[in-house]
Structure 1
Amino acid sequence: VFNYQVKKRSGEVQVYQEGKISHSILRAQQNINKEDKALADKIGKLVAEELKPQFEQEKILGTDEIGDVVERVLIDQQLYDIARAFIIARERQRQEAKAEKGLGVIDDIGLSYTSIVVMKNKYLQKGETPKGCFKRVAKAVAKAETDKKNRSLWEDRFFTVMSTLRFLPGGRTLANAGTANGQLANCFVMPMPDSVEGIFESIKESSLLKKNGGGVGFSFSRIRPKGDAVAGTSGKAAGPVAFMKIINEASEILQQAGGRRSGNMVVLHVTHPDILEFITCKEDEASLNQINFSIGLTDKFMRAVKKDKPWDLINPHTGSVVNTVSSRSIFELACSYAWKNGDPGMIFLDRINQDNPTPRVGVLEAVNLCGEQPLLAYEACNLGSINLAKHISGGQVDWSKLAETVKIGVRFLDNVVSVCKYPLKKVEAVVKANRKIGLGVMGWADLLVKMGIPYDSKEALGLAEKMMKFIRETAWNTSEALGKEKGSFKNFKGSLWQKRKYKFFRNATLTTIAPTGSISMLANCSYGIEPHFANAFYKEALGGIRLPEINKDLLVKLRQVGLDTSNGLIDQIVANGTLQLIKEIPDGIKKIFVTAHEIEFQDHVKMQAAWQKYTDNAVSKTINLAADARVEDVIKAYILAWELGCKGLTVYRDTSRRVQVLNIGYNKNTKFEARNPKQIQNSKIKIQKKDNCPQCGTKLFKAEGCAICPACAFSVCSL
């Protein structure tokens, strides 16, 4: 053992450790399916002997100098295959180090290159390190604790779960906590009344929310239909779609003026007379590019669809029936457009209101941008997610560790409600009266592969229900304890919790499976409850460096069965986009490492339903379909989702965002029944290549309702 020092690429100086050399040799052996610890230790000792004269002369050596000696010793010992694997691994480390250096961020907690990119682009303040970011957030959120000693205790706990990537809050909390902005909520719902004055007041208020970083949901169901009479004037009503265009334009102007890209979700009730125009309002894929939109469906409507019954369209202003159409035709038209480009989505309003915790306060009519958070008007929700991949030990779920993280996560998010600076007093009043939070998960696909469970299996569905039930029960118990300690939420009286015989309860809702695009990349884990979208791909780093991104669990499995992962096997996986076409890979591994587009849509829906069963709010997940899927498959997916108790659904057919259907425009004089799925499916298409990230060029993929870049975290949420 030498008492000498090593200078790392980051500039940090550490004491030389022979064991680290042995470990690096062992990793190189594993890359070529060899594992001889005795040999690795022997090489470690030989390297130490070679280094001794240099250390005595220089005192401090750089990691590159030490690496050169390791290479020389391996070659001298005629261990050419291990030397080759070591050199390849070392070159990748050099490339990553070069790319990281170009970012100008000091990594003081050991993050991946992609994680550092995400932190720099989205969360770090000027001159801040990742550790500094987590300390800033922990300190700001712990300020909700009134006792100084308690505050210090929880600050440490909050920092620990974030810095170890066990739990991460939503993006606005990471970016704004402890700053002058202080707006920590990601999502809001605003009212949309049936008056010009009310509509433009809502647009003004929602713009203030977006300015500080937040997506906004609306229900347009109260707006009178297009062409309806307007009292006191000779004019006619413009209708919901016209006001959608105004909101879209306002959002674009706000973004151009330097605001953060946010977005809008518009919901229209299926009884609204303008429902057909609403469904087809994104005929041109470039239009309404700041808006997601979903149809609000009821159980009555879905039963009518199954029996092919007529459906009344009702003027929300007068309450009178203005038209009767085929329920199935409305549904099939919506499914046809979802098949075409993913819009509109559908939310099931009756299912949502079954879980409405405060029915006396109001009915839930709208959801946030990605649909996972039903909210009342002027309400917001603070979100955070547990990294399930960090809660596994010895191939099994570490339930005690998971319980601890849930308890810390609930308290963290409840504190966020208290310390958040709300742009509008109305929002602050409603949020603090209900104290809704949304604790969710990410890393589900990672956990499954570590446990050797195929995503599309009954075992996976059973584990999903078991885990979410455990998380919900732990979260509920924590909220009950917080209610005793700090007081129940103001609208507790008459709430669902009082009916459930609770005497104290801190939060109206506790669990949500939200999109985790950016924070999943920061945590270096799979997105939400989504399956893996690729097992290997190349990402474009700064300076034009192409870095291979490989599923580390896959590497372990391949080595275990004797496959050499240092040769062209990874290139084959990237080129094929799947393991299924590579003969050398055993079928057992192929089943475990199945990707999103290899999973049947029914299994996607069943997985969403399994998590929804024990989730207070809703679940954000994309139901992926193959490029050759038919409209009938989309129809079946939505019906299955309703039957299984999902609160909403988003579908994405592979490549559908790259196509533009021609000559299929809605004409109010055309009989609606003529617009059937096969007409749209069989119409001509024009290919428009839009599937690469505009920031770094890496291929985008669809997850949790968003187009996401796996390299730089660029995201366009269904817009």
Structure 2
Amino acid sequence: MPAAIKTRKSNKKAAIPEKVELADNALAVLKKRYLKKDKQGNPVETPEDMLRRVARTVAAAELIYDTNCDVRELENEFYGLMARLEFLPNSPTLMNAGRELGQLSACFVLPIEDSIESIFDAVKHTAMIHKSGGGTGFSFSRLRPESDRVGTTGGVASGPISFMRAFDVATDVIKQGGTRRGANMAILSIDHPDIERFITAKQQAGVLTNFNLSVAITDKFMEAVRSGADYDLVNPHNGEVFASRKARDIFDKIVNLAWKTGDPGIVFIDRINAENPTPHLGRIESTNPCGEQPLLPYESCNLGSINLSRMVKGNGKKSVDFDKLGYTIRTAVRFLDDVIDVNKFPLPQIAERTRQTRKIGLGVMGFADLLIDLGIPYDSPEALATAEAVMGFVQSESHKASEELAAIRGVFPAYDGSIYDGKVRMRNASCTTIAPTGTLSIIAGCSSGIEPHFALCFTRNIMDNTRMIEVNPYFERAAKTDGFYSEDLMKKLAEGSHLESMVEVPDDIKKLFVTAHNITPEGHVKMQAVFQKYTDNAVSKTVNFPADATVPDVEGVYLMAYKDGLKGITIYRDGCKADQPMSTGSPKSDSSSVRPEPVEGSKIPAAPQPAKPRKRSKVTTGFTEKVNTGCGTLYITVNSDDTGVCEVFSHLGKTGGCAAAQLESTCRLASLALRSGIEPASVAKQLKGIRCPSIAWDGGKSVLSCADAIATVLENFLTARESLATRDSQLVTPPGGNGHGEKKAVKDLGLVKNIAGQCVECGSILVYQEGCFICPGCGFTKC
């Protein structure tokens, strides 16, 4: 059989571009993270070289099935699809195909059984996967609860939360390709005895920072929530009922913590397993880090996304080019199936299980751009209808492509005809996934996944603190066409002004260019539900809430998600991350944070921001905390004056020497910053994570250095201060309210919208979408 895609609907071949058309920031992302480098860190390949390397490596899989096929022809088809930016595979495929590492998958799930051997095998395997560029998901539901008896030692169990810290520390020290930390998903069953500890695990800042948390919620639990009934907590070690809880109380705790911190999310585990394509292999218990890929233990998945912004035809009245989309889908399915065969998996168990089910995850990006090109507002019924038409087509055509491959290559080996009851025989157990495309969409020059645009303009650091305002190209084109474009307007938008307040902008433009925070949370859920309807696996999407959203607002969205058939949901309320620096994004703004105004009745005054350090008060008040470090016992003192935190002192048990001198200089500079109006959180952020050769443990947590210890003490102080402010201002639903009945409006903290912190690499603002912090300027991602 010839290697060319015989099933394409169009007979004409699209031209293969000699050069890939990339925006400046896309090229910067490729140079920093994707292109092959020499020992000095300089790129030794071009973007065209990279795509040719990937196409050649993946097309070689065709020889497994036909030694006489024209591999070069298919290589050109794969290359053309990527070079025209119509389709891109997940990042590990772009980074590693044709290179020594050769690990091409993005998503993995590892099993954790109730034994020390299983737990630390999983830690080791996690490190190997993260080193190769993948993310990992785990269910900790099989571990016995904290304080349960351990028969072999006569002691008591540490419980899931304690062991999660081991995974968190391992993730901390393994960088992916030398550029970023790996990401994890931790899932715990709603009926686990430690579920309340799990729900509140990230309440304290700086804990489990490399994990997303999700609760596995069952249909039975949701029915108990609806009826007001109790439900049982069951010890997974012996199957005995541990205790009973009122379902409504646990659900309220989940909602309150999600409102407050953004974690935990929820996955509807029964719904996931109702659509498990291989139930005879086991029950699905976990997902990948962003929640869109449910997987069996040791399964992995290769993802790829079609750029919908390139699937438009027409000059005046535009429409979706379904012929082009059909060809793209079929070629992409074949590409992803070939990836499985050339992949160098990090573990033999992963290779075996992945090749048994051959799951692929074809998704989309550029959906918001597609809508704008068609003249359809994101928050309109027409947008939902477009989503249904487009994703319905992607689902149908991907299944057809997989069927056709199965006719030639055979169905996936784990196929069990007896349980499929005459259903379609496919090459792949699942075909479609809506995955995060933060970095890929920067390369492709389109909007991310199925998310609406987060902002129309943003400020990006280029070099040497030079800043440049980047404007959404669709908005820039509309502004120039309609005659309201001006650099002053773009600057105002980049600094945080809202489009709806601009009198010079026509109303129809305001309606068309709606951004994430102008869409109701219910609107986000409706869009996710439409895509989920036509997706084999799950959908990565963030439901955005403004800072003044209430606990009942979050509850309503969680209930709506269950009612509308979602497999899981992630919410993000502006300002809910405890370690989130609140930058306005303005070139003139301080790079640390916007300080909330004090709430009436609070005993904590707001610190001013003077131009020079304030003088040290004659009398200060504070506390001293003892921390064990690798250099010895460190005593850290944090003092405050009438304005706020003003100084840090430290004393090392081993006095004198270089260590003491360095500590004194660190504390002097930190104190100078604090008296200059810099937020303590920003000072802590600069010191946090600094490593020295001597790492110690204190209170069950790693202390990486004396500077890291100072950061932790400052963070502990901030957490205590936050708790005091929360209590005094009654920010959380009052006792007895539990998020029900009369809504209590959350006091406005003056938090700036559309901000999720500052990029640690380029200084641009981060956005939180698809379950992860992403920098639109340089492509940095925390996942």
Distance of aligned partners of 1:675 and 1:213 in 2 relative to their CA distance in 1, 3 Å threshold: farther
Distance of aligned partners of 1:673 and 1:270 in 2 relative to their CA distance in 1, 3 Å threshold: farther
* CA drift at 1:531: 0.2
Structure 2 letter corresponding to 1:509 = S
Alignment partner of 1:449 out of 372, 377, 387: 372
CA contact (8 A) 2:434 2:449 kept: yes
Q: What residue is the counterpart of 2:32 in the other structure?
A: 121
* CA drift at 1:185: 0.4
* CA drift at 1:500: 4.3
1:277-426 equivalences in 2 (<5 Å): 277-394=197-314, 395-426=318-349
* CA drift at 1:692: 1.1
- Other structure's SS at 1:490 match: coil
- Other structure's SS at 2:270 match: helix
1:224-235 equivalences in 2 (<5 Å): 224-235=144-155
Alignment partner of 1:474 out of 380, 397, 401: 397
1:538 & 1:237 partners in 2: Cα distance?
50
CA contact (8 A) 2:456 2:493 kept: yes
* CA drift at 1:258: 5.0
* CA drift at 1:677: 4.8
1:363 & 1:145 partners in 2: Cα distance?
33
Alignment partner of 1:109 out of 12, 16, 20: 20
- Other structure's SS at 1:568 match: helix
Alignment partner of 2:454 out of 523, 529, 533: 533
Alignment partner of 2:780 out of 710, 714, 717: 714
Alignment partner of 1:488 out of 411, 434, 441: 411
2:176 & 2:206 partners in 1: Cα distance?
17
Q: What residue is the counterpart of 2:557 in the other structure?
A: 637
* CA drift at 1:473: 0.6
String of CA shifts for 1:450-476, please: whole Å, max 9, x gaps. 111111111111111111110011000
1:251 & 1:569 partners in 2: Cα distance?
43
CA contact (8 A) 2:34 2:95 kept: yes
String of CA shifts for 1:337-380, please: whole Å, max 9, x gaps. 11112101100001111210001111111000100000000000
1:232-251 equivalences in 2 (<5 Å): 232-251=152-171
Structure 2 letter corresponding to 1:187 = C
1:498-577 equivalences in 2 (<5 Å): 498-502=420-424, 504-563=425-484, 565-577=485-497
Distance of aligned partners of 1:258 and 1:116 in 2 relative to their CA distance in 1, 3 Å threshold: closer
1:387 & 1:577 partners in 2: Cα distance?
29
Across the aligned residues of Structure 1 and Structure 2, the Cα RMSD in angstroms comes to 2.4
- Other structure's SS at 2:85 match: coil
CA contact (8 A) 1:442 1:528 kept: yes
1:704 & 1:330 partners in 2: Cα distance?
25
Q: What residue is the counterpart of 2:62 in the other structure?
A: 145
Q: Which moved more, 1:346-355 or 1:540-549?
A: 540-549
Q: What residue is the counterpart of 1:207 in the other structure?
A: 127
Distance of aligned partners of 1:314 and 1:434 in 2 relative to their CA distance in 1, 3 Å threshold: same
Distance of aligned partners of 1:283 and 1:171 in 2 relative to their CA distance in 1, 3 Å threshold: same
Distance of aligned partners of 1:182 and 1:122 in 2 relative to their CA distance in 1, 3 Å threshold: same
Unpaired stretches in structure 1, ≥5 consecutive residues: 1-106, 666-671
Alignment partner of 1:431 out of 345, 354, 360: 354
Structure 1 letter corresponding to 2:536 = D
CA contact (8 A) 2:62 2:69 kept: no
Q: What residue is the counterpart of 2:723 in the other structure?
A: 662
* CA drift at 1:150: 3.0
Distance of aligned partners of 1:546 and 1:495 in 2 relative to their CA distance in 1, 3 Å threshold: farther
CA contact (8 A) 1:662 1:684 kept: no
1:469 & 1:121 partners in 2: Cα distance?
36
Structure 2 letter corresponding to 1:400 = D
Q: What residue is the counterpart of 1:594 in the other structure?
A: 514
String of CA shifts for 1:375-401, please: whole Å, max 9, x gaps. 000000000000000000121100000
Sequence identity (%): 45
* CA drift at 1:573: 2.5
* CA drift at 1:561: 2.7
Q: Which moved more, 1:298-307 or 1:470-479?
A: 298-307
Q: Which moved more, 1:654-663 or 1:166-175?
A: 654-663
Q: What residue is the counterpart of 2:4 in the other structure?
A: none
CA contact (8 A) 1:212 1:260 kept: no
* CA drift at 1:329: 1.1
Alignment partner of 2:767 out of 701, 711, 715: 701
* CA drift at 1:253: 2.5
Give me the TM-score of the superposition, normalised by structure 1: 0.80
Distance of aligned partners of 1:157 and 1:604 in 2 relative to their CA distance in 1, 3 Å threshold: same
2:144 & 2:196 partners in 1: Cα distance?
14
Q: What residue is the counterpart of 1:130 in the other structure?
A: 47
CA contact (8 A) 1:652 1:702 kept: yes
String of CA shifts for 1:26-68, please: whole Å, max 9, x gaps. xxxxxxxxxxxxxxxxxxxxxxxxxxxxxxxxxxxxxxxxxxx
* CA drift at 1:579: 1.0
Q: What residue is the counterpart of 1:87 in the other structure?
A: none
Structure 2 letter corresponding to 1:138 = A
Give me the TM-score of the superposition, normalised by structure 2: 0.74
Structure 1 letter corresponding to 2:772 = C
CA contact (8 A) 2:549 2:745 kept: no
CA contact (8 A) 1:333 1:677 kept: no
1:310 & 1:476 partners in 2: Cα distance?
42
Using CA pairs under 8 Å that are at least 6 residues apart, name the structure with larger relative contact order, 1 or 2.
1
CA contact (8 A) 1:539 1:547 kept: yes
* CA drift at 1:687: 8.8
- Other structure's SS at 1:415 match: helix
Distance of aligned partners of 1:715 and 1:233 in 2 relative to their CA distance in 1, 3 Å threshold: same
CA contact (8 A) 2:756 2:765 kept: no
CA contact (8 A) 1:333 1:675 kept: no
CA contact (8 A) 2:132 2:176 kept: no
CA contact (8 A) 1:357 1:495 kept: no
- Other structure's SS at 1:144 match: helix
CA contact (8 A) 1:535 1:554 kept: yes
Q: What residue is the counterpart of 1:103 in the other structure?
A: none
Structure 2 letter corresponding to 1:694 = V
* CA drift at 1:549: 1.1
CA contact (8 A) 2:357 2:428 kept: yes
- Other structure's SS at 1:265 match: strand
Structure 2 letter corresponding to 1:295 = V
Distance of aligned partners of 1:335 and 1:597 in 2 relative to their CA distance in 1, 3 Å threshold: same
